[in-house]
Amino acid sequence: MTTTETAPLAGSPADGDVPILEALHVTKHFPARGSLFKRGPRRVVHAADDVSIALRAGRIMALVGESGSGKSTFARLLAQLHPVTSGEIRYRGKPVRVKGGRSLRAHVSKVQLILQDPFGSFNPVATIARTLMRAVRIHHPKATAAEQRRIIDDLLGQVSLRPARQFTEKYPHELSGGQLQRISIARALAANPDVFLADEPVSSLDVSIRLGVLNLLRRLVEERGVALLYVTHDIASARYFAEDTSVMYAGQLVEAGPSETVTQNAAHPYTQLLIASAPDPSRADDARPRDIGQPPSLIDPPSGCRFHPRCPFAMERCRTDAPPAFALEDGQWAKCWLYDGDDEAAARRVENAAAYGLGAVRPAGRRLPTDAPATTDTKGDQQ
């Protein structure tokens, strides 16, 4: 390993361009409930620990993990709605230091959060026109009233709600969840953002309309060149929707790489369990492990690898030492001791391949330095 080698940043091509939005070694610890008034060491919730990610123009990064793994917290850190405990957020290569007021507004206009529940994000007593006009006035203060109305019509057209007048005079309760989610996307577009952070954008919608909203987001990414972080529980949707996938477990990224590789050839036992436990009628009879168990406490997370209490392949070192990132093939990496170069790890990889019916036993990976950001940027892997 050379000293210039860097761990791969979760999710992006080796084209040398600067990511639009980046998190580098970002950690967020919340005070644990009740701990502020107790004696003794302050207890914290480890909602995000040393997470690095790079979001690039025209690409979608899926952030996958079960409930409570820290996905929303991480999206909110990127949006600067929480201050980071440590680490850095960079916008177009420059550190973002938001102190409220104008700097927060500037960041928010470039980095827009889209939430799971569209009903909760609208004023129930304001018409759609009024809600959108508010956003348009903030981001286009110099436009005349007629221009602002044209901007609203155009925004609704961009989210395929036409003719606009069919929607502008309605109240949120008069629209379906899918229509309202489209309007929340239109409202986000008013700011002309570079980045969308979509936190479970379709999980509250009927299954029948989810695809339409995802297709809309995909079209906006392609046509406008925005970067999109797609937060989801649903690892299967990551495969067809996102170029890159990062997997989060108990506040840490554990695996990342191109979505096709991560979903079809998962390396980390947690990702493998997530995939095996996802509903798939075509695999009804297979014998893969499905009991996904319970996530650990984030106040007192397990030592070593945080997944070790649930991992069928855990070794002694997993209980004591946090695994570094191991670079695998095709820009994929995993933080897992299975990919170490010794005989015990090799034997466990054989067991792992047998348990999941993998065609071939994977080779060991290339150990990456722990101080470099393990993100979804597959760039580091190409050296």
Structure tokens at 148: 């602002």
| Interface with ligand ATP, residue 58, by CB under 6 A | no
CA geometry: angle 75, 80, 81, nearest 5 deg:
80
CA geometry: angle 116, 256, 244, nearest 5 deg:
60
- Which of these segments, 65-73, 173-181, 271-279, 318-326, binds ligand ATP (CB under 6 A)? 65-73
Structure tokens at 251: 């506040």
- β-pair partners for 190: none
- Which of these segments, 63-71, 91-99, 206-214, 219-227, binds ligand ATP (CB under 6 A)? 63-71
Alpha carbon separation from 146 to 126, 132, 134, 149 (Å, rounded): 20, 14, 14, 5
Contact 166, 176 (CB under 8 A): no
- Which of these segments, 45-53, 179-187, 333-341, 355-363, binds ligand SF4 (CB under 6 A)? 333-341
- Which of these segments, 60-68, 101-109, 118-126, 277-285, binds ligand ATP (CB under 6 A)? 60-68
Alpha-carbon distance of 131 to 182, in angstroms, equals 13
Alpha-carbon distance of 246 to 64, in angstroms, equals 6
**Residue 68 binds which entry of Mg ion, ligand ATP, ligand SF4, none, CB below 5-8 Å type-dependent:** ligand ATP
Task: Provide the minimum distance between the beta carbon of 267 and ligand SF4 in the complex, in angstroms, as a whole number.
Answer: 9
**Count of residues binding ligand ATP (CB under 6 A)?**
13
By CB under 6 A, name the one of 308, 349, 362, 379 that touches ligand SF4. Answer: 308
**Count of residues binding ligand SF4 (CB under 6 A)?**
14
| Interface with Mg ion, residue 27, by CB under 5 A | no
Chain residues 221-240 in contact with ligand ATP, contact rule CB under 6 A: 233
| Interface with Mg ion, residue 73, by CB under 5 A | no
Task: Provide the minimum distance between the beta carbon of 181 and ligand SF4 in the complex, in angstroms, as a whole number.
Answer: 35
| Interface with ligand SF4, residue 337, by CB under 6 A | yes
By CB under 6 A, name the one of 7, 20, 21, 47 that touches ligand ATP. Answer: 47
| Interface with ligand ATP, residue 202, by CB under 6 A | no
| Interface with ligand SF4, residue 74, by CB under 6 A | no
Chain residues 256-295 in contact with ligand SF4, contact rule CB under 6 A: 268-269
| Interface with ligand SF4, residue 156, by CB under 6 A | no
At 202 the three-state DSSP class reads coil
Q: Among residues 210 and 348, whose Cβ is nearest to ligand SF4?
A: 348
**Residue 337 binds which entry of ligand SF4, ligand ATP, Mg ion, none, CB below 5-8 Å type-dependent:** ligand SF4
User: What does the DSSP assignment read for 43-99?
Assistant: PEEEEEEEEEEEE-TT-EEEEE--TTSSHHHHHHHHTTSS--SEEEEEETTEE----
Bond before 163 cis per omega within 30 degrees: yes
| Interface with Mg ion, residue 246, by CB under 5 A | no
Alpha carbon separation from 359 to 11, 254, 260, 332, 356 (Å, rounded): 26, 23, 17, 18, 9
**Residue 307 binds which entry of Mg ion, ligand SF4, ligand ATP, none, CB below 5-8 Å type-dependent:** ligand SF4
Nearest alpha carbon to residue 241 among 182, 191, 200: 200
Nearest alpha carbon to residue 108 among 4, 203, 187, 225: 187
CB-closest chain residue to Mg ion: 72
The residues that touch ligand ATP, with contacts defined as CB under 6 A, are 30, 45, 47, 65, 67-73, 233, 298
